[in-house]
Amino acid sequence: MIVVLPNFLTTSTSNDLAYSDFMASVRDGEVESVDIDNTNGDIDGTRTDGTEFSTTGPLDGGIPEADLATLREQSVEVEYKTPTPGFLVSLLPFLIPVAIFVGFFWFMQRRAQSQMGGVMSIGRSKAKTYSEERPGTTFADVAGYEGVKEEVTEVIDFLKNPTRFAEIGARIPKGILLVGPPGTGKTLIARAVAGEAGVPFLSVTGSDFMEMFVGVGASRVRDLFQSARKMGKAIIFVDEIDSIGRKRGAGVGGGHDEREQTLNQMLSEMDGFEATEGIVIIAATNRPDILDPALLRPGRFDRQVVVPLPEVSERVHILEVHSKSKRMAPDVDLNVVARGTPGMSGADLSNLVNEAALFAVRDGKDQISQHHFELARDRVLMGARRDSMALAHREKEAIAYHEGGHAVAAAVLTHADPVHKVTILPMGMALGVTQQLPMDDRHIYRQDYIEDSLVVRMGGRIAEDLVFGVISTGANNDLVGSTELARRMVREWGMSERVGPMAWGSQGAVFLGDDLMQTRDYSDETARVIDEEVERILRQQEQRCRETLTEHRNALDLVARALLEHETIDGPEVYRLVELGRQGRTAVEEFGQWQASDGRGECSGAFGAAHVDTEATGE
């Protein structure tokens, strides 16, 4: 700037002349004086009339002697000047390195201050604040769960109109714990609270309190509640509170880690020496069993709200919400879809609708039909269809009879769930699937229903034994489920006469060593009785299954033949074939006799013999 700016700021009123014009003016006696710059040959002069001019003379050797003689003859005052740089310009070569040096240290100091500021602010809360101006989600977006909405809305009303509750002495609950399986919409309900509340809403997750430094979690809890107190009235939502609210002292040797310090600070803030009126904490977890008892006592989380899996009617409303933005075909019946999705959470239903839309796009359709929902449910429940798996004829026949055994047992037993669909197409980890859909959601299970369920589970294994005289590994999953179900009948549900009305609960996973040193609370003799009763139940239901399939052998052949021919049959077709079997109809009579293409003659008798006879021809 020192060097360049003067050239732009300097203004001159003189006229520029060519050197030849300058010498012509000198000869005419029009020039009074000139100043000659020795460094660059610039010439500034004054005319006799007072006007100024400028020109540039030659640099090599200066002005020629002839021209100087002309200047002297015309009595022109000539002055030679050599300009010297200013003081600042002289110091510039020294100032530039010093400025770079000082600037480097200033930059490093600023970086150090910013890093220290980041370290000092590490104990601040990471909660996101939501105001009434940006609700985003409201209760209108939450389908079902009217009871949960009512309890949460009561807290919102208390914060909006505290005098109405104070008139009769009602005290606002300090904490509400939303408990439910994953995907039931606990966080969605909290977001709806943020949209409905007329007070500030602070949202934070349990993992936000944990950091690599000691004491950071407790510091963030303090900062969170201080921020809430400054707002006067506020709702704090802590998602996945089990990450910081686990039992203290759990594990071998106890514990004194960062998580416990964070929990201690939260307990103190929720019910400490200072009152925190106007601040409500809403927390969500799917593991209430591992929370510290001090966190669940009255005065902290006064109210536990269960967010269960949706019922049939609630599933219909949830499907309607997720289907609003989808293009549905007229044949779509969401009631049928809801009935066919027992045990699915809201997140599962959302995924189901999306999968149905993806199937519609793959089929090149512009609408989602009921068929796409069927494919989507199979995809969600059992996995993707494995078209690349090639099964031999013997394996395919064994799978057909295996699934036929499940289907026939489910169709003829009184207390079993109705058959919805049977397939021998490999899907997910299964080579074949028999789907049963309950007519209504069940909340309690009677003993006769459980026993029929055991018979249905054993239907595949018994069918293979009846038809082929040998069993296979295909019943592995059935046996595991049957054994676990029978063990729970004896150990937990009191459905054994020998064991009697006693229950010992399920042997869950060891939690941080809390149950590591616990011993079995029943004797070895009782354990032996339990094992004998489990075996008795399984043997008894296995015999029932054998008698059932032996009685309905014609129906088993019909269902297996239909599966081999169509690969997938629905529930009404299964019941039709079972009824034909009861009437004495055989597989050969129903589907016609087979003719081998190599001329070996007609194939009659059992369907298995007919299949063997045509195996060589590939038909």
Ranking 112-121, 210-219, 473-482 by mean pLDDT, the lowest is 112-121
Whether the per-residue pLDDT at 185 is higher than 50: the answer is yes
More confident site: 325 or 11: 325
What number is the average pLDDT over the span 197-202? 76
How many degrees, rounded to 5, is the angle at CA 467 between CA 462 and CA 468? Answer: 100
CB burial readout 383-400, b (16+ within 10 A) else e = eeeeeeeeeeeeebbbbb
pTM for the model: 0.63
Digit-coded pLDDT (tens) for 215-269: 677 777 788 888 877 877 778 888 888 878 777 765 544 455 777 777 777 787 7
CB 236 within 8 A of CB 243: no
Looking at residue 537, its pLDDT comes to 94
How many angstroms separate the CA atoms of 377 and 353, rounded?
Answer: 9
Phi, psi of 283 (to 5 degrees): -125, 155
Confidence of residue 524 (pLDDT cuts 50, 70, 90): confident
Strand, coil or helix: what is 362? helix
In residues, how long is the chain? 619
Digit-coded pLDDT (tens) for 90-140: 777 778 888 898 888 888 887 766 554 444 445 555 556 655 545 567 777
How many degrees, rounded to 5, is the angle at CA 581 between CA 579 and CA 583? Answer: 75
Question: Could you tell me which of 499, 557, 497 has the C-alpha nearest to residue 523?
Answer: 499
Question: Could you tell me which of 350, 251, 256, 268 has the C-alpha nearest to residue 310?
Answer: 350
Q: Is 403 a catalytic residue?
A: yes
What is the rounded average pLDDT for all residues in the chain?
Answer: 78
The amino acid at residue 307 is: V
Q: Is 117 exposed, middle or buried (0-12, 13-18, 19+ CB in 10 A)?
A: exposed
How many angstroms separate the CA atoms of 125 and 225, rounded?
Answer: 9
Whether the per-residue pLDDT at 405 is higher than 50: the answer is yes
Question: Could you tell me which of 239, 260, 120 has the C-alpha nearest to residue 190?
Answer: 239
Looking at residue 513, its pLDDT comes to 45
How many angstroms separate the CA atoms of 168 and 172, rounded?
Answer: 12
How many angstroms separate the CA atoms of 555 and 584, rounded?
Answer: 9
Strand, coil or helix: what is 432? coil
The 10 Å Cβ neighbour count of residue 585 is 16
Q: Domains of the chain, with CATH numbers?
A: 5-81 (3.30.720.210), 128-306 (3.40.50.300), 312-382 (1.10.8.60), 393-508+520-585 (1.20.58.760)
Confidence of residue 176 (pLDDT cuts 50, 70, 90): confident
How many angstroms separate the CA atoms of 531 and 491, rounded?
Answer: 10
Strand, coil or helix: what is 78? strand
Catalytic: which of 269, 374, 403, 573? Answer: 403
- What the block records as the tokens of 445 is 């299970």
Taken in order 562, 563, 566, 572, the sign of the CA dihedral is positive
- Per the DSSP assignment, residues forming a β-bridge with 281 are 175, 236
Looking at residue 615, its pLDDT comes to 44
State the DSSP H helix or E strand holding residue 585, giving kind and residue range, or none if neither: none
More confident site: 174 or 492: 492
Distances (CA, A) of 594 to 399, 564, 608: 21, 14, 12
